[in-house]
Amino acid sequence: MYTGKHYMKVINRAVSLRDQVEIDEQLYREIAHAENDILVHGRRDGFADAYQRIRLSVDKQALSEMIRRNKIVLAYESRRK
């Protein structure tokens, strides 16, 4: 049987995950904006731009996966309550 402490732990974890998803989504939008800036206002140094775009793309992909996983955990936790 679950105790009040257990439910508080679950609620705190859900709040923490929700906050992390919001932070990650904001960072994702900032990376997408930076990536777009490189495409629109690219400098003459093609290699540096290409390297930065690849780095941003990898960061964006990792954030996307983290957001997806956290949302799955949140959905699971909300059904357990």
Once rounded to an integer, what is the mean pLDDT over residues 8-22?
85
Q: What is the pTM of this model?
A: 0.76
Q: DSSP of 18-64, one letter per residue?
A: HHHHHHHHHHHHHHHHHHHHHHHS--S-HHHHHHHHHHHHHHHHHHH
Once rounded to an integer, what is the mean pLDDT over residues 63-81?
87
| Stretch among 28-32, 44-48, 75-79 having the lowest mean pLDDT | 44-48
